[in-house]
Chain A
């Protein structure tokens, strides 16, 4: 950068070339500047094109650029460096000045809490940092805590009871705290001069701390260099040492009211305090814990340590979960697969025009293939629904309504899930005939009876694979063969079976199959229906809409849930053997442990043809509800979740011929992938303990011990 004066215009004696336009100068006068010659008009500012030709005007150069004074200062001039952010402040920008420091307008905020100062705010400079009054006082508190023991003791006493106003005195009395330094008014843009200190400055260096005039229009913009220097020296003389020394005359400064304030203060300034164990122990402060993660509260109210709003019935320690037939926990691998689709990949899989939609569709198709692989189907035969209930509804009602012109008859069993039974009842209202096949004592249906019930106008046979209450596995393969021979559609509700026992739709000759997501460690709210394509099964859609899912189930396919279901099926396929071995081991352990220590235990359901993860035991001479209440440390169920609201014993137990009192005292243990040996042992111990205890209290049990046959008793009428 050079500043050179323009030399005088000379008489054009010798011909020269103009440095601006390059032509020969033929005028009488030319300018000479920067060792070059110019036309009078050619020496112009590169920015504003003003003529720099007048003698005496300074021109500024930067590199190859020639600028007039004003433009140069605007572009390259500087007021200095901001004391807060250490960056250059261009010349004409608004600045704040305080105590020999210059700041950007934005930088003039409290550097602790980022509070931008408004008119009337007091601010302090401490160690060349700007602090608002609250932060400043906090600083002082902590600095003084690091001070002499006497002051420490005093502080202890003060902070111990924060109810009243606190006045804290320091050893070094008499020194006044540094007072608020008002900032200076910023430069209005049309003036090109630096800001100056107002003349009011000296008056405000007092204890009263009158409202500093922060953003007022001060007097005179006419700052010359000399005046500036004057004020600066004045400032310098009144500058107090920025020591954390204080005598607060006004109690209101430290009494911000509640201990809560100090609590947050102390918590916030944890790193500032010196280790002072005795002091710290006096203050019960919720200091921020080391792990920031733990500080994040969870949404569940059970996580708060001193929760005052915990309801009475939420337990301190949670029971073990042994109710796998009701629902299963989400496998971590499934959650891991779902999370991208719950966060950033949120596209609608039916959107065809952008990559959000394409990615979602790809995920849905992958999941479809995963589900299809598990049951040995083709992925075109998989339809996603909202759960096994909807799948059952579509199968039963949809098939029946489609073929209602030719067929009139549906066969099902007495132990089906409520949704199938209810759909059949709805069909009955529409004029269909429904046969409810009875089950034998073992829980399985008789295949001969089924064959006998088949009629030429039978549309559908619906038999569930694994019963959710007693765990019995039906002879699906035989039923499928019969149905195929008679050309009747065969639907099976495989919600409890898929992923736990090998299920192949071609081996089993199944035409329709319902799958539920949350029984196989997947998410809730998703299920699937397998609909065979060869020979084609036609289904009338229950949900009308845009024709998604082959027209059988309209509605946007929920990508995260579907991805979860697919992942769950994939995991189930790989882990089926391992899980089956584990669950069998646990089941045998449980049953042996209970039956070896107590007597009169009946297992509902055929032990051979049954899924080991579902154990339904009836405890004779014990009331079922009281046993469940006693076993409150274990999450169990008696009867299925759908029927537990009513007082009636489960219809499934009634169907297998269990006596009334035994049906009432049955407990279902559900074991799954995540159940542990310790949990099973604990459950068995508790069960035995409470059964024995309850039997001790029962007079019926006494009579049984004595050998009286209860059935022969004539109970007297009252």
Chain B
């Protein structure tokens, strides 16, 4: 992976994890965190430039979606589950 691309990917990774942690709903939060981690882990092994670009674009879009949905989740709070602290 090119150096600039790696930095960008790392920044996106951190941003995605940070935003995903803000979900108020337990299920959404856990899924988003898991999916982001697994997605980046899998994409690490990609080789072609086009593939990497595509994955990065998808990650950027996902970041926007997550941000919006976090706001919505704050407006319409889901109740705490028994399993949460």
Question: Which residues of A are in contact with B by a Cβ distance under 8 Å?
Answer: 293-294, 296, 298-300, 302-303, 317-321, 329, 332-333, 335-336, 578, 633, 673-676, 678-679, 682
Could you say which of A303, A319, A332, A333 contacts B81, with CB atoms under 8 Å apart?
Answer: A319
- Assess whether B68 is in contact with A336, with CB atoms less than 8 Å apart: yes
Show 23 A/B contacts (Cβ-Cβ < 8 Å), sorted by A.
A294-B74, A296-B75, A298-B75, A298-B77, A299-B76, A300-B77, A300-B79, A303-B79, A317-B81, A317-B82, A318-B80, A320-B83, A329-B28, A332-B65, A332-B66, A333-B62, A333-B65, A336-B65, A336-B68, A578-B35, A676-B31, A676-B34, A682-B82
Kindly provide the distance from the CB of B37 to the nearest chain A CB, expressed in whole angstroms.
Answer: 12
- Assess whether A303 is in contact with B27, with CB atoms less than 8 Å apart: no
- Assess whether B77 is in contact with A335, with CB atoms less than 8 Å apart: no
Residues of B26-85 at the interface with A, using a CB-CB cut-off of 8 Å, are 26-28, 30-32, 34-35, 38, 62, 65-66, 68-69, 71-72, 74-84
Question: Which residues of B are in contact with A by a Cβ distance under 8 Å?
Answer: 26-28, 30-32, 34-35, 38, 62, 65-66, 68-69, 71-72, 74-84
Which of B62, B71, B75 has the most A CB atoms < 10 Å from its CB?
B75
- Assess whether B69 is in contact with A332, with CB atoms less than 8 Å apart: yes
A333 contact set on B, CB distance < 8 A: 62, 65, 69
B62 contact set on A, CB distance < 8 A: 333
- Assess whether B83 is in contact with A678, with CB atoms less than 8 Å apart: yes
Given A317-B80, A320-B81, A676-B31; 5 other pairs, CB 8 A cutoff: A335-B69, A578-B35, A674-B28, A675-B27, A676-B27
Q: Which DSSP category, helix, strand, loop or mixed, fits chain B's interface?
A: helix
Q: How far is the CA of A319 from the CA of B80 in the complex (A)?
A: 9
Nearest A residue (CB) for B38 = A578
- Assess whether A674 is in contact with B31, with CB atoms less than 8 Å apart: yes
Q: How far is the CA of A335 from the CA of B82 in the complex (A)?
A: 25
A299 contact set on B, CB distance < 8 A: 76
- Assess whether B75 is in contact with A293, with CB atoms less than 8 Å apart: yes
Could you say which of A294, A302, A578, A682 contacts B83, with CB atoms under 8 Å apart?
Answer: A682
B74 contact set on A, CB distance < 8 A: 293-294
Which of A302, A332, A333, A676 has the most B CB atoms < 10 Å from its CB?
A332
The 8 closest A-B pairs by CB, nearest first: A674-B27, A332-B69, A318-B79, A317-B82, A676-B30, A633-B82, A336-B65, A674-B31
Q: Which DSSP category, helix, strand, loop or mixed, fits chain A's interface?
A: mixed
Given contacts A293-B74, A336-B65, contact A321 B27 (CB under 8 A): yes
- Assess whether B31 is in contact with A673, with CB atoms less than 8 Å apart: yes
Kindly provide the distance from the CB of B48 to the nearest chain A CB, expressed in whole angstroms.
Answer: 18
Q: How far is the CA of A320 from the CA of B65 in the complex (A)?
A: 25
Kindly provide the distance from the CB of B45 to the nearest chain A CB, expressed in whole angstroms.
Answer: 15
Q: How far is the CA of A329 from the CA of B31 in the complex (A)?
A: 12
Q: How far is the CA of A317 from the CA of B83 in the complex (A)?
A: 9
A317 contact set on B, CB distance < 8 A: 79-82, 84
Q: How far is the CA of A300 from the CA of B34 in the complex (A)?
A: 29
Q: How far is the CA of A675 from the CA of B28 in the complex (A)?
A: 9
- Assess whether B76 is in contact with A319, with CB atoms less than 8 Å apart: no
A678 contact set on B, CB distance < 8 A: 83
- Assess whether A303 is in contact with B77, with CB atoms less than 8 Å apart: yes
- Assess whether B82 is in contact with A319, with CB atoms less than 8 Å apart: yes
B68 contact set on A, CB distance < 8 A: 336
Nearest B residue (CB) for A633 = B82
Nearest B residue (CB) for A683 = B83
Q: How far is the CA of A673 from the CA of B34 in the complex (A)?
A: 11
A578 contact set on B, CB distance < 8 A: 35, 38
- Assess whether B28 is in contact with A332, with CB atoms less than 8 Å apart: yes
B83 contact set on A, CB distance < 8 A: 320, 678-679, 682
Could you say which of A302, A674, A682 contacts B79, with CB atoms under 8 Å apart?
Answer: A302
A679 contact set on B, CB distance < 8 A: 83
Q: How far is the CA of A329 from the CA of B76 in the complex (A)?
A: 14
- Assess whether A320 is in contact with B76, with CB atoms less than 8 Å apart: no
- Assess whether A336 is in contact with B69, with CB atoms less than 8 Å apart: yes
Kindly provide the distance from the CB of A580 to the nearest chain B CB, expressed in whole angstroms.
Answer: 13
Given contacts A336-B69, A674-B28, contact A318 B82 (CB under 8 A): yes
- Assess whether A674 is in contact with B30, with CB atoms less than 8 Å apart: yes
A633 contact set on B, CB distance < 8 A: 82
A300 contact set on B, CB distance < 8 A: 76-77, 79
- Assess whether A329 is in contact with B27, with CB atoms less than 8 Å apart: yes
Q: How far is the CA of A273 from the CA of B81 in the complex (A)?
A: 38
